[in-house]
Amino acid sequence: MRVGELSSLSGVPTPTIKYYLREGLLPPGERTSRNQAHYDDRHLRRLRLIRALLDVGGLTVAVARDVIAALDSPETGTHKVLGAAQQTVIRTAAYCDDDAREDATAEVLGLVRRQGWKVTEDSPSVAATAEVLGALRQLGLHEFVDRLDDYARAADAIAATDLDLVRRRPDIDGMAEAVILGNILGDALLVALRRLAQVHHSAELFTDDRAPQADPHG
Amino acid sequence: MRVGELSSLSGVPTPTIKYYLREGLLPPGERTSRNQAHYDDRHLRRLRLIRALLDVGGLTVAVARDVIAALDSPETGTHKVLGAAQQTVIRTAAYCDDDAREDATAEVLGLVRRQGWKVTEDSPSVAATAEVLGALRQLGLHEFVDRLDDYARAADAIAATDLDLVRRRPDIDGMAEAVILGNILGDALLVALRRLAQVHHSAELFTDDRAPQADPHG
C-alpha cells in the first residue's frame, strides 16, 4: 500500500508517518519509484506499536527508538534477551546524594534477601529501586519505606503473572516483545488499577454513606 | 537565608532556583531590598519536593505546577480532597478508537463489580483504566487483559497499604501530600520493585543454574 492508505488504515496522519520514518522509528518502505514507496502489514503493526509506546507508554521518541531497536535485534539466551528487553524500560534518574544512595542500596539488598529473590547486587533493578527509596527518605516519606515489604509482596505477585504470560509466548522475539510491551503498558495498567482501588479504599475509610452515588469523585 | 545559601543547602543551582521562581513552582521569598530576597526552610522543603516531582516522578514543569497548586489550596472534605489530589496524578491519554473504548469501559466496570469496589461509572480512574485496556486489546495483547483480575488483586493490596499510610497523616494537607507524593513516587517504587521481582522470576524460569552469580543480567 502507499503512504496515504497506510495513514487511513492506521489513523496516523501522513506527516506524522514521515516524521517516524525520518526518526528511524518506522523502517522505510520498498521504493517503487523516485517519489513513492510501498508499505505492508508490518508497517501497520509497527505504527500501532509506536503509537502505543508514545501515547500509552509516554516514552520519548528517543526511548521508543531504543525499545524498537531491542526488539529488532535480540541477543541470544532467553534470560539474557529478557534482561536486555527489560533494560530498555528501566528508568534511571539520579536523585539521591551519595550517602542516601548507599543506605538505600543496603535497604534494597536486605529486601531482596528477605523476599528470597535471586537477584545480584549489581543488577540495574537494584540501583533503580535504591534511587526511589533514597528519594522517599530524603523527602521524609519514611512511612512508605517502612511498608516496603508489603509493596514488594504485591510486586512479586505481579511479576509472577508477568513471567507466566512471557513464557507462554511461542518464540524468543515474542517473549522480548511481551517483556517490553507488558512492562510499558503493564505499568500504565497497574497505575490505573491502583488509582481505581484507591478510590474504593478512600470511600471505605472517609465517607459515612458508602453507596457509590454518594462518592464525590467517583 | 539568601538565594546562594538556599542553593548550597538544596544542591539546586541558583539559575535553576530562579527558573522555578519564574515558573511559579517556588513561591517568592520575602523582599529585603531591591535586589535581594529572604528564603526560609519552607523554600528548602519545597525545592526538595520540586526536584522529586521532576526528577523522580518524571513530571513536566506544567504538571508539577498543577500538583503544587493542588497541595497549596485543598478543598473541603477528606474524600473530596483526596480525590482532587489523585486527579493531578491520573494520566489521561487518548489512545483507543471509540468502539474499543466502549468495550474496554464495560470490561473495567465488570472488574469493579467482581472486585466489589465502590467506584462510580463516571470516575476518571475508570476512564484511565479503560484507555490502557483498550490499547492492550488493540495491540493484540489479550493475554494481559485475560489476567486482569490477578493484577487487580495486587493493585487492591497496594491501595489498601496506600490508604492506611494516608489516614495516619495528622491533617488533611498531610493526607493530600501523601496521596500526591505517594502516588508519584509510589508508582516509581512499584515499577522498580516489579522489575526487581521479574529478574528473580526470569531466573527461576529460564536459567538452569539458579545461583545468583550465574544470573547474566543480575
Quote ipTM for the complex: 0.75
The alpha-carbon gap from A36 to the nearest alpha carbon of chain B, in Å, equals 28
User: Are residues A218 and B109 in contact, defined by beta-carbon separation less than 8 angstroms?
Assistant: no
Cell numbers linked to A13? 496522519
With CB atoms and an 8 Å threshold, state whether A79 touches B150. no
B45 assigned to some structural domain: yes
Both A178 and A92 in one domain: the answer is yes
Domain endpoint, select from A71, A99, A130: A71
Distance, CA of B163 to CA of B179 (rounded, Å): 8
Provide the mean pLDDT of chain A: 84
Phi and psi of B31, rounded to 5°? -65, 130
Residue B53: its pLDDT value, please? 76
Both A53 and A110 in one domain: the answer is no
Residue B187: its pLDDT value, please? 87
Both B109 and B49 in one domain: the answer is no
A218 assigned to some structural domain: no
Q: Which residues of A touch B91 (CB under 8 A)?
A: 58, 188, 191-192
Q: Which residues of B touch A168 (CB under 8 A)?
A: 143
Smallest Cβ–Cβ distance between B117 and the set A182, A188, A197 belongs to A197
Both A67 and A78 in one domain: the answer is no
Instruction: Kindly state the helix (H) or strand (E) to which residue A128 belongs, with its residue range.
Output: helix A124-138
CA A124 to each of CA A90, A110, B66, B211: distance values in angstroms, whole numbers, following the listed order? 8, 16, 32, 18
With CB atoms and an 8 Å threshold, state whether B139 touches A182. no
Smallest Cβ–Cβ distance between A163 and the set B160, B178, B202 belongs to B202
Smallest Cβ–Cβ distance between B215 and the set A94, A120, A153 belongs to A120
Q: Which residues of A touch B125 (CB under 8 A)?
A: 192, 195-196, 198-199, 218
* DSSP single-letter state for residue A55: I
A215 assigned to some structural domain: no
With CB atoms and an 8 Å threshold, state whether A162 touches B194. yes
| Interface with chain A: mutation pick from B123, B194, B209, highest number of A CBs within 10 Å | B194
Cell numbers linked to A38? 510501498
Q: What is the CATH number of the domain that holds B52?
A: 1.10.1660.10
Smallest Cβ–Cβ distance between B143 and the set A82, A152, A165 belongs to A165
Distance, CA of A68 to CA of B108 (rounded, Å): 30
Residue B41: its pLDDT value, please? 87
The alpha-carbon gap from B35 to the nearest alpha carbon of chain A, in Å, equals 31
Domain endpoint, select from B47, B71, B95: B71
Both B129 and B189 in one domain: the answer is yes
Both A99 and A52 in one domain: the answer is no
Domain residues for the domain of A112 are 74-206
Lowest mean pLDDT among A1-10, A42-51, A115-124, B173-182: B173-182
- Total CB pairs under 8 A between chain A and B: 368
B215 assigned to some structural domain: no
| Interface with chain B: mutation pick from A97, A150, A194, highest number of B CBs within 10 Å | A194
The pLDDT tens digits of the residues spanning A55-86 come to 766 778 887 887 777 777 655 567 776 776 67
Both A104 and A92 in one domain: the answer is yes
Per-residue pLDDT tens, chain B, 218 aa: give them: 999 999 999 889 999 999 999 998 999 999 998 888 999 988 988 888 788 778 766 778 887 887 777 777 655 567 776 776 677 667 666 767 788 889 999 999 999 999 999 999 988 899 999 998 998 888 788 999 999 999 999 999 999 999 999 999 887 767 877 888 888 888 888 989 999 999 999 989 887 533 344 444 54
Q: What percent of chain A has pLDDT over 70?
A: 86
For cell 520498498, the residue is A30
Smallest Cβ–Cβ distance between B152 and the set A128, A178, A193 belongs to A193
Both A184 and A101 in one domain: the answer is yes
With CB atoms and an 8 Å threshold, state whether B218 touches A120. yes
B217 assigned to some structural domain: no
Q: How many folded domains does chain A comprise?
A: 2
* pLDDT classification of A210: cutoffs 50, 70, 90: very low
Both A110 and A51 in one domain: the answer is no
User: Are residues A125 and B196 in contact, defined by beta-carbon separation less than 8 angstroms?
Assistant: yes
Residue B213: its pLDDT value, please? 41
Query: Percent helix, strand and coil across chain A, each rounded to 5?
Result: 70, 0, 30
- The sign of the torsion formed by the CA atoms of B59, A204, A213, B100 equals positive
Both B86 and B41 in one domain: the answer is no
Both A166 and A182 in one domain: the answer is yes
A124 assigned to some structural domain: yes
User: Are residues B173 and B153 in contact, defined by beta-carbon separation less than 8 angstroms?
Assistant: no
Both A27 and A100 in one domain: the answer is no
Domain endpoint, select from B71, B103, B124: B71
A66 assigned to some structural domain: yes
Chain mean position to CA B4? 31
